[in-house]
Structure 1
């Protein structure tokens, strides 16, 4: 068997051929009833998806102190997921803890040691449900964006 026959990868369409086919395809407007039905279904999906889109601007929300040197600002929270900012002042640490849910951490500002790994602006860390963090600490302070799900 040759290599092409053993893979399940679909053959790609040449881009020039794609353009020719696209340009040769006539525009067809759906019937008025069909168009209204599609719009109605789409709007139902949007209205049923809780908080489908919203913004939290930097001046909105409240920073709350959860421990000396640690502040939290919740951006979004529901039964399934939580997104929040965590601000750690200089020489602050968070003790060992486990994760009931998946957790993603993005360093927005400063530097932090996560499980013995030095992370700084723009670095990302993923911790799966059932894992744990050793001490999290910062010498110079940091702001983290954290999402759990």
Structure 2
């Protein structure tokens, strides 16, 4: 430890590694979110500009959350996939709606073009999804949906 580093990183790492995970009480998240909604209800219109809110998710993948519907337990988001991106096969824990806004996405031998709609029901197995030219897609899916690992195969 030196004067610039007030914390002993090795000691804190040891303590953190020794901690046992704690399971929160059942329903805690729902109670917290109900309280937040009661104290801060969404009462105003909201606009998200095209350049705002983008987050890097992985190589060649950016997304932005447009809306979280706590009562319906769903997320609306945009995802931008660069050319050559591949999403691995995955299962859906909730229904997922997808509208391709720009470009194309392909799974198996089906290509979904700009303006096309794709629906994956809860429990469906999604094969690998790729985009040759890149894509901008709107997704609406259940909260808690597992997030697949992404790769940019270029």
On whether the aligned pair clears a TM of 0.5, the verdict is yes
- Structure 1 equivalent of residue 45 of structure 2: 54
TM-score by length of 2: 0.60
1:129 aligned residue: 122
Q: In the TM superposition, what are the counterparts of 1:99-114 in structure 2 within 5 Å?
A: 99-114=92-107
- SS in structure 2 opposite 1:62? coil
RMSD: 2.3
In terms of fraction of residues, the more helix-rich structure is: 1
Q: Could you say if the C-alpha distance between residues 125 and 52 of structure 1 is closer, same or farther in structure 2, counting changes exceeding 3 Å?
A: farther
- Give the Cα–Cα distance (whole angstroms) in 1 for the partners of residues 44 and 74 of structure 2: 15
Superposed displacement of residue 62, structure 1:
1.3
Instruction: For residue 61 of structure 1, report the CA deviation from its aligned partner.
Output: 3.4
CA contact (8 A) 1:61 1:75 kept: no
Which one has a bigger Cα radius of gyration?
Answer: 1
Gaps of 5+ in 2: 1-37, 143-154
Confirm or deny: 8 A CA contact 2:95 2:141 kept in the other structure: yes
- Aligned pair count reads 103
- For structure 1, the 5+ residue unaligned runs are 1-46
TM-score (norm 1): 0.62
Following the alignment from structure 1 to structure 2, what is the Cα–Cα distance between the partners of residues 91 and 75?
Answer: 25
